[in-house]
């Protein structure tokens, strides 16, 4: 990639390069899930597809919302809305680390100039009943990617194991572009910055998350999502049920940002979200298990 040496990639070119690379590796290039969520892992392409024996390779950008991380646009590193680049490969290929390092090369990281390290960081999402072993990948001391071999999802063993890569796009871009403030990032090569696109959004959304959002309707929304999830489970539409789990999870995050959930209540709310997510995964498994078992005899429920 000769041109990367000349001019660092813009954020959008970085995404395009990653799409091109992972597309060549046989990944489906998907679009973001159209719901508010805290991490790309919530995308059904990750959570639900990590279950079951069928091979699955996909890559996509997922906008993530973390209401408590909002800083009204005043912190150069923290955002309540940002992008993750997710790659999920099931089963995990033997050369996953090499593929990942190649992808870094594609966006302009030279591993003989920059210090790339795999530092132990096991991933766990109590809300999703999921965990895996892996690393945070460091580039000159900065965590740029979470690299995980999923071992369990929704409380079920992953058979086979999927490899999941989560690139922090803004961080990588800041790094590649040598920029100290996220709002100074070049979004494209025509003079539009990240700040042009998102600064006002950060200001307003931080205010809404922390000050404006109506807590009564949030509580009510949580309760409704919970009820709707149950109804959907009863109607055996687990994907719909899972969407309600995503909804409840985000509403819980908003309630946290509004500071209306106490330490004691926190655990109980998290438990409720976990039950929804697990119930959905369970129903998803149940619905597909027979077909999977027929097609993959070595896979047993």
Partner 1 sequence: MSDFLLELRCEEIPARMQAGARADLEKLFVKELAAAGLKAGAVTVFSTPRRLALIARDLPLATEAVSEETKGPRTSAPEQALEGFLRKTGLSKDQLTERDGVWFAVTEKPGRETRDVLAEAIPAIIRAFPWPKSQRWGADSISTESLRWVRPLSGIVAILGEDLVACEIGGVASGYATRGHRFHCPGEITIGGAHDYAEKLRACHVIVDHAEREAMIREKAKAAAADAGLVLVEDEGLVIENAGLTEWPAPLLGRFDEAFLDVPPEVIQLTARVNQKYFVCEYPSRLGEGLLSASDPASPPPTPPASGRGELANAFVCTANIEATDGGAAIVDGNRKVLAARLSDARFFWEQDKKKPLSVHAEKLARITFHEKLGSVADKVERVAKLARWLVEEGIIKPSPLQGRGLGVGAASAAPSQPHTPALSPEGEREKLADQAELAARLCKADLVTEMVGEFPELQGLMGGYYARAEGLPDAVADAIRDHYKPVGQGDDVPTAPVTVAVALADKLDTLVGFFLINQPPSGSRDPFALRRAALGVVSLIQANGLRVALRAVFETAIESYYEVAFRRYYYFLILSPAGERMLQGHVDRHDMVSASFYKQVWWPNEVFAAVRQSPNAMEVVMGAEEFEGNTDDDETPHAYDFSVRSVALFRTSNPEAALSSLLVFFADRLKVQQREAGVRHDLIDAVFALGGEDDLVRLLARVHALQAFVTTEDGTNLLAGYKRAANILKKESWSANAGSQGEGVVPPTGEEDPLVLVDDPEFRGVAGAFARPDKNYDREPAEQALIDALKAAEPQAERAVEAEDFTAAMAALATLRAPIDAFFESVTVNDADANKRASRLALLDRFRAAVHKVADFSRIEG
Does residue 24 belong to the site contacting partner 1 (CB under 8 A)? no
CB 248 within 8 A of CB 219: no
- Considering only 23, 26, 31, 77, the residue that binds partner 1 (CB under 8 A) is 77
Does residue 115 belong to the site contacting partner 1 (CB under 8 A)? yes
Does residue 119 belong to the site contacting partner 1 (CB under 8 A)? yes
Does residue 72 belong to the site contacting partner 1 (CB under 8 A)? no
- Considering only 7, 117, 223, 295, the residue that binds partner 1 (CB under 8 A) is 117
Q: Count residues binding partner 1 (CB under 8 A).
A: 47
Does residue 268 belong to the site contacting partner 1 (CB under 8 A)? no
- Considering only 41, 62, 92, 125, the residue that binds partner 1 (CB under 8 A) is 92
Is the Cα torsion angle 191, 195, 201, 204 positive or negative in sign? negative
Does residue 129 belong to the site contacting partner 1 (CB under 8 A)? no
Residue closer to partner 1 (CB basis): 188 or 300: 300
Contact positions with partner 1 (CB under 8 A) in 132-161: 132-135, 139-142, 149, 151, 157-161
Residue closer to partner 1 (CB basis): 61 or 89: 89
Does residue 203 belong to the site contacting partner 1 (CB under 8 A)? no
Residue closer to partner 1 (CB basis): 72 or 299: 299
Residue closer to partner 1 (CB basis): 34 or 94: 94
Q: Work out how close the CB of 10 gets to partner 1 at its nearest, in angstroms, rounded to a whole number.
A: 20
Does residue 183 belong to the site contacting partner 1 (CB under 8 A)? no
Question: Which residues of this protein are in contact with partner 1, per CB under 8 A?
Answer: 53, 76-77, 91-94, 97, 101, 110-120, 122, 132-135, 139-142, 149, 151, 157-161, 163, 175, 180, 260, 262-264, 296, 298-300
């Amino acid at each position: 990639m000769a041109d990367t040496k000349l001019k660092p990639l813009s954020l959008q070119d970085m995404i395009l390069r990653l799409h091109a690379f992972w597309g060549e590796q046989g990944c489906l290039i998907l679009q973001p899930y159209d719901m508010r969520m805290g991490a790309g892992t919530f995308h059904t392409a990750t959570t639900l597809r990590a279950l079951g024996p069928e091979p699955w390779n996909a890559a996509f950008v997922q906008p993530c919302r973390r209401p408590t991380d909002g800083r009204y646009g005043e912190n150069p590193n923290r955002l309540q809305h940002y992008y993750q680049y997710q790659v999920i490969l099931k089963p995990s290929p033997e050369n996953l680390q090499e593929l990942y390092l190649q992808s870094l090369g594609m966006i302009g990281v030279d591993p003989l100039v920059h210090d790339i390290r795999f530092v132990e960081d096991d991933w766990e999402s109590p809300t999703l009943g999921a965990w895996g072993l892996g690393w945070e990948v460091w580039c000159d001391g900065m965590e740029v990617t979470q690299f995980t071999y999923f071992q369990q999802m929704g409380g079920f063993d992953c058979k086979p194991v999927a490899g999941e890569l989560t690139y922090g796009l803004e961080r990588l871009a800041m790094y590649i572009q040598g920029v100290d403030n996220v709002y100074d990032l070049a979004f494209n090569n025509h003079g539009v910055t990240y700040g042009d696109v998102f600064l006002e959004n950060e200001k307003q959304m931080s205010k809404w998350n922390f000050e404006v959002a109506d807590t009564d309707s949030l509580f009510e929304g949580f309760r409704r999502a919970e009820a709707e999830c149950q109804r959907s489970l009863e109607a055996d539409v687990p994907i719909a049920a899972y969407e309600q789990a995503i909804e409840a999870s985000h509403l819980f995050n908003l309630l946290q940002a509004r500071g209306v959930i106490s330490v004691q209540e926190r655990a109980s709310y998290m438990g409720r979200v976990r039950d929804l997510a697990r119930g959905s995964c369970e129903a998803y498994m149940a619905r597909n298990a027979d077909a999977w078992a027929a097609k993959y005899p070595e896979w047993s429920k």
